[in-house]
Amino acid sequence: MDVIAGLEALTGPQGRALQERLRGLDVGGAEGLRLGTQLRREFPTQLVIDAMAQQELRRRASAKFRLAADMFFTRDGWEQASAEVVSTHRRTRFRGCARVADLCCGIGGDLVAIAAECAVRAVDRDPVHVWMARQNARVHGVAERVDTGEADVRDVDLADVDGVFVDPARRSGAGRKRLGESEPPLEWCLELPRRVGKVGIKAAPGIPHDVVPEGWELEFVAVDRELKEAAVWSPALATARTRATVLPAGDTLVAEPGTPVAVGEPAEFLLDPNPAVTRAGLVEDLARGLDVHKIDEQIAFLTADRAVHTPFARTLRVIDSAPWNQKQLPARLRALDVGAVDIRRRGLAGDVDALHRKLRLSGSRRATLVMTRVRDRPWALVCLDVPVPGPGDGSLVP
């Protein structure tokens, strides 16, 4: 049976009843097989196969979407869809637009977010994704603001939109440097402002800075400490050259011009910047804003003599700091009563797993062992977590 006809059947009375039976269940493994056999006695086989496939994808997609349990997904569509926390942040750039074209809409992850701001024309060349984008818009209560179309995005008339968002498909095994590795290629996306001024492009977090033209903004987005993606904003939407944003709170950091940051010995606290900050090349700017210093010209760790709490870095308390000496390390850790370490390596080569095995620790404390360089010398820092103050019990430094 044709894929769309199968999906349509899921929206009919029998399909809906079957989906209700599966709601919230884990349909993988032996239990799933048993359930499938049982359901095939009551429902058509193909309907059961399609419903169970959707249920499996919905369960996985629940990490990205609040309403995943009612949405429709393909495996590729779910994997490539923007998580709600990211698309909700990104959509605010289109505030004030009357109608935005969502080019390469996939299953509609960005579409349902942007449609909360304005009308959206959603286009994809995959008919199954177009069908799902429409359904998912309905699930999010924005269907009346969305029109969907199946087409190659290169053929779409943009005369009546005042904004464009494009999320090209990533080709598997794509290299970092080659612009043509997405479909449509980034070069094509970067030409869009000739037709519509306000353009946002979703990009992989590995995007090289130098492919972003003068006047555009490159934003790196992390959710907590996980770097998720980048967005490239045309001059009409740009508000900085580079930006690091940390979600879910939406804290955002841009360049802070000023004098070079001093390099000094590690003090009592070590700051490990968020990966969005390091990818955006804003470590020096963060240091200036916090009035802390670097431990090396090249290394993205910062140090302070006070506990600095910032959304843009993890703060650790240094309990031991010395030039790297692997032979002495087990004895040093034993003396500090450290029984378990997370190893954080930056700027120093070494096999972390082999080191873990050699340490043979037995103390009662858990610490972070930082392998790094201080003023270009290999260095070891032993650090403990610093509790983050809750609301009202300390000042959060921006």
Ligand X SMILES: C[S@@+](CC[C@H](N)C(=O)[O-])C[C@H]1O[C@@H](n2cnc3c(N)ncnc32)[C@H](O)[C@@H]1O
- Applying CB under 6 A, which residues contact ligand X? 80-82, 104-110, 124-126, 129, 152-153, 167, 169, 183-184
Q: Residue with CB nearest ligand X?
A: 109
Please name the residues in contact with 305: beta carbons below 8 A apart, sequence gap of 6 or more: 267, 268, 269
- Residues 326, 338: Cα–Cα separation, whole Å: 16
Give the residue with the Cβ less far from ligand X, 158 or 169: 169
CB of 335 to ligand X, least distance (A): 52
Q: What is the dihedral of CA 310, 313, 317, 318, to 10 degrees?
A: -140
CB of 27 to ligand X, least distance (A): 23
- Residues 172, 187: Cα–Cα separation, whole Å: 18
DSSP state of 364: S
Displacement of CA 270 from its chain's centroid (Å): 25
Give the residue with the Cβ less far from ligand X, 200 or 266: 200
Give the residue with the Cβ less far from ligand X, 123 or 300: 123
Q: Letter for the amino acid at 3?
A: V
Give the residue with the Cβ less far from ligand X, 102 or 296: 102
What are the tokens at 235? 């001059």
CB of 398 to ligand X, least distance (A): 30
Phi, psi of 365 (to 5 degrees): -105, 150
Give the residue with the Cβ less far from ligand X, 127 or 260: 127
Give the residue with the Cβ less far from ligand X, 183 or 251: 183
CB of 234 to ligand X, least distance (A): 17
Q: What is the dihedral of CA 159, 161, 165, 167, to 10 degrees?
A: -50
- Residues 241, 285: Cα–Cα separation, whole Å: 13
CB of 173 to ligand X, least distance (A): 16
Strand partners, 201: 166, 232
CB of 187 to ligand X, least distance (A): 13
